[in-house]
Amino acid sequence: MPEIQPIYIDAEELSAHRDGAYALNGVLDSTEVAHLQNQMWDYVERLTKNHNVPIRKNQPKTWKSIGNLESLQKMLFQSGSIGHNPMSWHVRTSENVLKEFQELHKTDRLVTSMDGMSIMLPPEKTGFGFQDQSGRVKLHTDQAYRDSTINCWQGQVNLFNVYENDGALRLLRGSHKLHEEFPKHFNQIDLNKGFVILNEEQLQWYRDRLDDDADVCVKTEAGSLLIWTSCTIHQGMNPTRPRPHPENIRCTLYACKADSNILHNPKLSFYKEYLESLGATIPPPTKAEPDVEHASPEPEAKKRSPEPEQKQAEPEPEDNLPPLELDESGVIQPEEDEPLPMGDTNKEVSEEDLEKANEHRDQAVTAFSEGDFQTAVDNYTKAIELNPGSAILHAKRAAALIKLSKPLAAIRDCTKAIEINPDSAAPYKFRGRAHRLLGKWLEAHKDLVTACKLDYDDTANEWLKEVEPNVSSRI
């Protein structure tokens, strides 16, 4: 079945009430935009300075190295400290951006997300990144279906104009109005899941209830703010062929803010603790606390007289203490395989090598998504031999090795990735998981804590909570 192609429209055509999205032009002025564009180039040059072929703004032949950074669809970068890049913080703290979100939420007490950013250097130059190369449609909602009302607005600012067939935000206009009705027709949906990618049947259900021109990509001017509800069905669309402006670059900075009261929800305690670990000050809740002063007195029957003083038991000598009880479920025996090739770190990587390495990486990603982990490992190995200086290739192979229950090989890959790029969270995350599989609880805990500090990740946090009981019993 051929993929349905969205229609490109101007941002000014959007209506918040009708479409669940709208745009504001000129949120950043031309001076700010030019400054941030230069910052983007400085940033990607710094990120790739230790790569075999570092990116240079004035040398388009080096731009292929953008493919060595960990990304989704060769466009969305989230690993390491990328969420704290200076361009994103400029947008998050922009007076015009803050004012818009304050009006949306009716408060100036806001908490901001720390998303990564989207960068797409011209695929005509890099050889990758078109929609037909990057894979499947991933139209989704970012709001759990248990919430029937709009509870979050998301935003993005593009640093370059978005033209016809460029990478853009794709929306199903009006889909936010169907959010409450959808789970009544698809009762197998997890109502508590906050990120749901829709399958073809579910997408068709939306299309049947929306206008024929509901599926759109949005053209925007550089420096404009595009805002949509979290329950609007959307995705980041890769560019399609042919592009009228093949020289055009995409750099999208995300701004998502919410009322800071959400941090006092017990379900988000992990995020509150994470922010506090970074030195953040969390405002107290603004909603009224329970009136304890006028609470009903405790019934007489429940009042207890003081317990008679008990004599403190003498502590047992340490030698007589029972052995520590650890939960060893899930621990496996280390594999006895020969070490996998790590590539020649002194190799001079040619453009042809990079191109072939990216091809094998794409094949590995596809194989991994289909559950063929051995084929994924084989292709990552070929990519590593062609481009041994890529940290993400080692981290990705480690993820596949963990699926194959080969933790020792995964640890070797992750250690190599950390040597190449110590600021990437992915190798710490997967090395922590590999240590956990071997029952090395302290090592696992240390790596997973580091991964969450570098770039918070729900899966890494779940793995961290899994090892914490065994670590607590050792301290």
Q: How many CB atoms lie within 10 A of CB 96?
A: 16
Residue 320 lies inside a defined structural domain of this protein: no
d(CA 133, CA 136): 9
Three-point CA angle 397, 403, 406, nearest 5°: 75
Q: Give the rounded percent of residues in the chain with a pLDDT score beyond 90.
A: 53
Is the pLDDT at 318 greater than 60? The verdict is: no
Residue 210: pLDDT band by 50, 70, 90 thresholds?
very high
Q: Give the rounded percent of residues in the chain with a pLDDT score beyond 70.
A: 87
d(CA 418, CA 464): 19
Residue 283 lies inside a defined structural domain of this protein: no
Q: Are residues 235 and 361 in the same domain?
A: no
Instruction: Write the pLDDT tens digit of every residue in 171-206.
Output: 999 999 999 999 999 988 888 888 899 999 999 999
Q: Cα 19 vs. chain centroid, distance in angstroms?
A: 26
d(CA 468, CA 306): 36
Query: pTM of this prediction?
Result: 0.67
- For residue 167, the domain's CATH number is 2.60.120.620
Instruction: Write the pLDDT tens digit of every residue in 3-23.
Output: 788 999 999 999 999 999 999
CB 162, CB 244: distance < 8 Å: no
* pLDDT given for residue 297 in this prediction: 35
Residue 53 lies inside a defined structural domain of this protein: yes
Q: Are residues 138 and 245 in the same domain?
A: yes
d(CA 331, CA 434): 10
Q: Name the residue among 422, 392, 427 with its Cα closest to residue 67.
A: 392
Residue 320: pLDDT band by 50, 70, 90 thresholds?
very low
Is the pLDDT at 2 greater than 70? The verdict is: no
Residue 125 lies inside a defined structural domain of this protein: yes
- For residue 452, the domain's CATH number is 1.25.40.10
Is the pLDDT at 315 greater than 90? The verdict is: no
d(CA 18, CA 437): 50
Instruction: Write the pLDDT tens digit of every residue in 19-44.
Output: 999 999 999 999 999 999 999 999 99
Calculate the average pLDDT of the chain: 85
Residue 453: pLDDT band by 50, 70, 90 thresholds?
confident
d(CA 363, CA 400): 13
Is the pLDDT at 314 greater than 70? The verdict is: no
Residue 338 lies inside a defined structural domain of this protein: no
Residue where a domain stops, chosen among 261, 288, 303: 261
Is the pLDDT at 303 greater than 80? The verdict is: no
* pLDDT given for residue 290 in this prediction: 34
Residue where a domain stops, chosen among 216, 233, 261: 261
- Highest average pLDDT, of 42-56, 346-360, 376-390, comes from 376-390
Residue 82: pLDDT band by 50, 70, 90 thresholds?
confident
Domain hosting 27: range is 7-261
Q: Name the residue among 474, 402, 389, 394 with its Cα closest to residue 426.
A: 394
User: Cis omega before residue 242 (within 30°)?
Assistant: yes
Q: Out of 35-39, 310-314, 378-382, which region has the weakest mean confidence (pLDDT)? A: 310-314
Domain total for the chain? Answer: 2
Residue where a domain stops, chosen among 261, 292, 317: 261
Mean of pLDDT values over 433-445: 93
Mean of pLDDT values over 280-309: 48
**What's the farthest any 2 CA atoms get from each other in the chain?**
86
Residue 297 lies inside a defined structural domain of this protein: no
* pLDDT given for residue 134 in this prediction: 59
Residue 460 lies inside a defined structural domain of this protein: yes
Residue 196 lies inside a defined structural domain of this protein: yes
Q: Cα 280 vs. chain centroid, distance in angstroms?
A: 21
Three-point CA angle 460, 462, 466, nearest 5°: 115
- Highest average pLDDT, of 216-230, 302-316, 360-374, 385-399, comes from 216-230
